[in-house]
Amino acid sequence: MGETATILTEVFFETIAYWWVIVPTIFLGLIVGGIPGFSAANTIIILMPLTLAMDLETGIVFMVSLYCAARMGAGIPAILVNIPGTAGAAATPLDGYPMAKAGKGQQALSISFVASCIGGLLTTIIALATMPILARVGFYMHSVEMIVVMLFGISLIASIAAQDLLKGLIAGFFGLMIGSIGTDVVYATPRGTMGFLELYDGVPLIPALVGLFAVSEAFIIIEKRVIISEDAEPKHPNWHDTIEGVGIALKRWWHIVWTSVIGLAIGVVPGAGASIASFVAYQQSRTYSKTPEKYGTGHPEGLIAPESANNGVTSGTLVPLLVLGIPGGATAAIMLVVMQFHGVSFGPALFENQPKVGYGMFMAMAVSYLIMFLTILPLSRYMSHVTTIPTIYLAPLIISFTLVGGFVPREYMFDMYLALCFGVLGYIARRTGYHVAAILIGVILGPLLERYFLLALKKSDGDVFVLFSSTLGNILWVSLFLSLMLPIILKWRRARRNEEVPAE
């Protein structure tokens, strides 16, 4: 224990000494995270020759800072202009963008930064302290259990559908149908691809994401003068709003804590990602809220939940990488390649043979979050100017920016057209009262649900009772049932209480 504390202290001071790497990397991460289509993973790949040329410590600090900052950066355009930079930020605009439209973009950014930094820092510390236990989570979360986790996220469709059940469910099922396009996970047989080679690997997420959210939003805002509502009070960005946002977030510290832990728990399962965590955290946050009706209208807790959770995933993905040698996600897989180049061998022996490398990765993450908190928060004042740019400039900028973003991950022209198609689809959905988020949840979580479902069925030779074959799975089923019933029970109790207290 004493030896570990000494190593941690040493590593902490050594990491702080790399501030000159961390600070510029944070800004690079914010930029690549904010541009749809770019991510920490493809940036590390693009900069691979540079990363390989760095010494091991510098390389670790660079990759980890970039990873954290890119995750946080994805939330900025999601809040300000309704463009989630990655699938992990897809739940952020649900409440972030309505805040920006109401003239509270600066507060929303502050809330997002505080939730991300505290969520990320806290889960890093928890991960560091409980690594051997957390690494075991993957031993219990198999395909059956993951099906239930997916259903937690997908049940958000029902919550969204609450305002107009039929339209919400139609949108959700439509999203699930789009999500089933592509080759099946067992025999790789193409389904519903309409002969397009580009759809063999499924509907690409980034074009769907930017199309449904950003392009359709650009079509909408072109009808207005600026993004913020005309009845919102026009004011110049000021420090007061930033501090107010920090206050709003800190007041909800417990919310940050438990939603980030959801992210951590999902992040440690190999293959599960930030998109699942952010939707599950949003759904749970809404379920246990005293004011669920405020979600989707610019409610701070609706913004805190996905941002804390997706930063919790960031720390979670390092656990299976370091303890088991299994990368939890795409960025962790690239880190593995770079670190193997430097002779690091992951797995159970890492903390015995090279403890400074193992602890160093977590410490780099913790220090990055600390420095990010200090460097990014003041920027919210300037970033929120975006919402006051006249839409005649902003709408074309959003469309061109997102089309390029749609193109970047696979470099297919097809993906740009697809983003436009999703944009038109999103525009029609908005104009006819269908919720685009319900479609998107289907598109993002549908293929993952199908994958786990088919694997579970394949393992059981087609026996559907496999879904109730594990103790943990059954506990999760009961939790899911309770979580779906709770809002109905609470609503019924409230209605009953109102009946008992006669109106004055």
Partner 1 sequence: MKTLDRRGFLKTSAGAGVMTLAAPTIVRAADFPERNIKVIIPTREGGGADRNFRAFAEVWKDKLGTDFEPGFFPGASGRVGYEVYMGKEEPDCYSLIFGNMGPEVLNWAMQEPSNFSVDDYFYFGRVDVDPGCLFVGAESGLQTMDDIIAAGKERKLNVGTSRMAHPASIGLLALGEATGAQFNLIPLSGGKNTVAGAVTGEVDFSVLTSGSVIAAGDAVKTLLVFGENRVGEALDNAPSMNDAFGTNLPEMLSSRAFAIHRKAAEDYPDRFAKLQESFKATFEDPRLLESYVSLGGTPEYLSYGGVEECAEFMQAMLELGAKYKPLLTGA
Contact residues for partner 1 (CB under 8 A)?
41-42, 45, 48, 138-139, 142-143, 182-183, 185-190, 197, 200-202, 270-271, 320, 324-327, 330, 333-334, 336-337, 340-341, 345-349, 410-411, 451, 455, 458-459, 461
Q: Parallel, antiparallel, or unpaired for β 190-191 and 182-183?
A: antiparallel
Identity of residue 145: E
244 CB-contact burial (10 Å; exposed 0-12 / middle 13-18 / buried 19+): middle
Q: Which is nearer to partner 1, 291 or 345 (CB)?
A: 345
CB of 97 to partner 1, least distance (A): 31
CB of 28 to partner 1, least distance (A): 19
Q: Which is nearer to partner 1, 73 or 327 (CB)?
A: 327
CB of 140 to partner 1, least distance (A): 8
Confirm if 432 and 221 have CB atoms less than 8 A apart.
no
Please tell me the distance from the alpha carbon of residue 72 to that of residue 55, in angstroms, as a whole number: 26
Please tell me the distance from the alpha carbon of residue 429 to that of residue 447, in angstroms, as a whole number: 22
CB of 126 to partner 1, least distance (A): 21
Radius of gyration of the chain (CA): 22
CB of 218 to partner 1, least distance (A): 29
Q: Which is nearer to partner 1, 200 or 492 (CB)?
A: 200
* CA distances in angstroms from 88 to 107, 175, 297, listed in the order given: 21, 17, 20
Q: Which is nearer to partner 1, 142 or 224 (CB)?
A: 142
Q: Which is nearer to partner 1, 233 or 352 (CB)?
A: 352
Which residues, at least 6 apart from 272, have a Cβ–Cβ distance to it below 8 Å? 141, 146, 149, 266, 328
**DSSP secondary-structure letter at 360?**
H
Alpha helices by DSSP H, 35-164 = 40-46, 48-53, 56-73, 75-81, 93-101, 105-129, 131-134, 137-140, 143-154, 156-160
Q: Which is nearer to partner 1, 105 or 138 (CB)?
A: 138
CB of 161 to partner 1, least distance (A): 31
Tokens 């693009």 correspond to what residue? 46
Q: How many beta carbons lie within 10 A of that of residue 160, not counting itself?
A: 24
Q: Which is nearer to partner 1, 102 or 277 (CB)?
A: 277
Token pair belonging to 298: 């610019």
Q: Which is nearer to partner 1, 190 or 247 (CB)?
A: 190
CA dihedral 438, 443, 447, 448 (to 10 degrees): -60
CB of 374 to partner 1, least distance (A): 32
CB of 265 to partner 1, least distance (A): 15
Q: Which is nearer to partner 1, 75 or 320 (CB)?
A: 320
Distance of CA 280 to the CA centre of its chain: 10
CB of 320 to partner 1, least distance (A): 7
Sign of the CA dihedral 176, 177, 181, 186?
positive
Q: Which is nearer to partner 1, 285 or 331 (CB)?
A: 331
Q: Phi and psi for 150 in degrees, rounded to 5?
A: -60, -40
Identity of residue 149: V
- The closest of 472, 4, 504, 454 to 184, measured between CA atoms, is 454
CB of 295 to partner 1, least distance (A): 34
